[in-house]
C-alpha cells in the first residue's frame, strides 16, 4: 500500500476510535445526568410533573442522541479531511525528498527542496539543502583537484617526453638527457608526495609527537637550512631569536616543516636584494612565529584563498617559470599541520609589496 492511503487510514482510524469512544461514553453517562434534570423539572412543574417524567426523559434522551450523532458525523468529516490534507503534505515532502535524493545520486548537486513552514518537515528540507550544498562543494573541489593535478603533471610529463624523444633521435647527449629526466622525475615525485601529505592532513591522519619545543631551536634550524639558499638568490635572511627564550607545544619535525614551507615561499617570491625576516613573539593566545618578506603583495581575494590547494596569484603564476614553481600545496600543508598541532597559519600583506605569514603555536611549559 502506498504511503498516502496508509497515513490517511492511520489518522482516520485514530479519529474514528476517538469519536466512537466519545459517543459510547456519552450514551452511558447521559441517563444519569438526564434523570437528575428530569427530577428537577418535575419538582418545578408540581404534581402533574410526575406523570411527565417518562416523556421528559425520552425526549431529552432522543434529543441528546440525535445531536450527538449529527455532531459526530460532522466531526468525522472534518477530521477525515484534516487527516487527508496532513497525510498529503507529508507524502508531498517525502516525494520531494525522494526526487531530490535521486537527483543527487545522479550527480545533480544543484537540486534544492522548497523550505516552507516552521515544522520538522521544513527542517528536513533545510538540512537536505545544506547536504546538497556541501556535496556540490565537494564535487567542485574534486573537479578542481583533478584539473589542477593534471595541469601540474602536464609540465614534467611534456618535458620527459621531449627529453626521451631527443635522446632517441640522438640530438641530446645521454648524460644531459638522463639528468634532465631525473630532475623531472623528482618533480613528479615531489608532487605526488605533497598530494599524499595534503590528503592525510585534511583527513586528520597525521601522527604527531607533541612535546615542549624550544622556539629558538626551530629558528636556528631554519637559519641553517635556508641561509645558503637565500645568499645564492641575493637575499638577506635575518633570523631573530626570541628574548626571553620561549617554549611551545608542538611536533618539532612538523613545526620545522611549517616554517620551512613559509620561508621557502618567501625565498621563492622575494626579488634579489630583498630581505626576509623570521622572528618569534609572545602573544596572549600563544607564540607567533612570523615570516616577513619584501616580495609582491597580496590582494584581499588572494589573502582569502592563498591557502587553498593549487591556488596561485596571477603574479606568482607569471613568475613560476623563473622561480622554479612548486607543487602549489605548500601553504595548504603548512596551515593543515599548524591546525593539527593546535595552532594556525595566517597572512597579512600589502596590496603592492610585502607579506607577513604568522605561524601560531600554543605556549608550552619550560623544558
CA nearest to 263, candidates 279, 250, 252, 247: 279
The set of cell numbers assigned to 111 is 537540486
Q: 3-state class of 153 per DSSP?
A: helix
Peptide bond into 345 cis (omega under 30): no
User: Strands 344-349 and 275-283: what pairing?
Assistant: unpaired
CA nearest to 18, candidates 85, 86, 67, 78: 78
pTM, to two decimals: 0.58
CA dist 290 → 180, 219, 240, 345, 348 (Å): 36, 11, 10, 10, 11
Q: Are 226 and 262 in contact (CB under 8 A)?
A: no
The single residue listed with the C-alpha cell 593566545 is 285
CA nearest to 215, candidates 25, 364, 347: 364
Provide block-wise average pLDDT over 10 residues at a time, the chain (367 residues): 67 78 78 71 65 70 79 81 78 83 85 79 85 84 75 79 84 83 81 79 82 92 89 92 90 92 89 92 92 86 80 50 55 90 89 86 75
Q: 3-state class of 312 per DSSP?
A: coil
pLDDT at 323: 38
pLDDT at 305: 80
Beta strands in 165-259 (DSSP E): 211-214, 236-240, 247-250
The single residue listed with the C-alpha cell 556541501 is 134
The set of cell numbers assigned to 285 is 593566545
pLDDT at 50: 61
Beta strands in the chain (DSSP E): 211-214, 236-240, 247-250, 275-283, 286-296, 344-349, 353-361
H/E element holding 367? none
CA nearest to 308, candidates 278, 341, 284, 330: 330
pLDDT at 262: 92
Q: Which residues fall within 8 angstroms of residue 325, CB to CB, at 6 or more apart?
A: 155
Q: Are 329 and 320 in contact (CB under 8 A)?
A: no
pLDDT at 2: 64
CA nearest to 217, candidates 195, 247, 238, 190: 247
Backbone angles phi, psi at 117, to 5 degrees: 100, -175
pLDDT at 47: 65
* Angle value at C-alpha 214, between 212 and 219, nearest 5 degrees: 140
Q: Over the Cα atoms of the chain, what is R_g? A: 39
Amino acid at each position: 500500500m502506498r504511503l498516502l492511503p496508509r497515513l490517511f487510514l492511520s489518522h482516520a482510524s485514530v479519529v474514528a476510535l476517538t469519536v466512537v469512544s466519545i459517543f459510547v461514553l456519552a450514551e452511558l453517562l447521559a441517563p444519569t445526568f438526564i434523570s437528575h434534570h428530569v427530577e428537577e423539572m418535575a419538582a418545578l412543574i408540581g404534581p402533574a410533573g410526575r406523570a411527565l417524567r417518562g416523556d421528559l426523559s425520552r425526549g431529552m434522551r432522543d434529543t441528546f442522541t440525535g445531536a450527538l450523532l449529527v455532531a459526530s458525523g460532522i466531526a468525522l468529516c472534518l477530521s477525515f479531511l484534516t487527516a487527508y490534507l496532513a497525510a498529503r503534505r507529508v507524502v508531498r515532502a517525502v516525494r520531494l525528498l525522494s526526487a531530490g535524493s535521486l537527483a543527487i545520486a545522479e550527480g545533480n548537486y544543484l537540486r534544492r527542496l522548497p523550505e516552507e513552514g516552521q515544522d520538522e518537515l521544513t527542517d528536513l528540507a533545510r538540512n537536505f539543502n545544506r547536504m546538497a550544498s556541501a556535496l556540490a562543494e565537494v564535487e567542485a573541489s574534486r573537479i578542481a583537484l583533478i584539473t589542477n593535478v593534471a595541469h601540474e603533471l602536464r609540465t614534467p610529463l611534456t618535458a620527459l617526453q621531449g627529453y626521451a624523444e631527443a635522446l632517441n633521435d640522438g640530438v641530446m647527449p645521454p648524460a644531459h638527457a638522463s639528468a634532465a629526466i631525473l630532475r623531472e622525475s623528482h618533480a613528479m615525485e615531489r608532487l605526488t608526495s605533497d598530494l599524499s601529505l595534503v590528503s592525510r592532513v585534511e583527513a586528520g591522519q597525521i601522527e604527531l609527537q607533541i612535546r615542549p619545543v624550544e622556539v629558538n631551536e626551530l629558528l636556528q634550524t631554519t637559519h641553517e637550512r635556508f641561509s645558503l639558499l637565500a645568499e645564492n638568490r641575493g637575499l638577506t635572511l635575518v633570523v631573530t631569536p626570541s628574548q626571553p627564550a620561549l617554549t611551545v607545544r608542538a611536533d618539532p619535525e612538523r613545526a620545522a616543516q611549517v616554517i620551512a614551507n613559509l620561508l621557502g615561499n618567501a625565498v621563492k617570491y622575494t626579488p634579489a636584494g630583498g630581505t626576509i625576516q623570521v622572528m618569534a613573539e609572545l602573544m596572549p593566545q600563544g607564540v607567533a612565529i612570523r615570516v616577513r618578506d619584501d616580495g609582491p603583495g597580496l590582494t584581499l581575494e588572494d589573502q582569502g584563498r592563498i591557502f587553498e590547494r593549487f591556488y596561485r596569484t596571477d603574479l606568482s603564476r607569471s613568475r613560476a617559470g623563473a622561480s622554479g614553481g612548486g607543487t602549489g600545496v605548500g601553504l595548504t600543508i603548512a596551515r593543515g599541520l599548524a591546525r593539527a598541532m593546535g595552532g594556525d597559519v595566517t597572512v597579512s600583506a600589502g596590496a603592492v609589496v610585502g607579506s607577513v605569514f604568522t605561524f601560531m603555536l600554543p605556549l608550552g611549559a619550560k623544558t
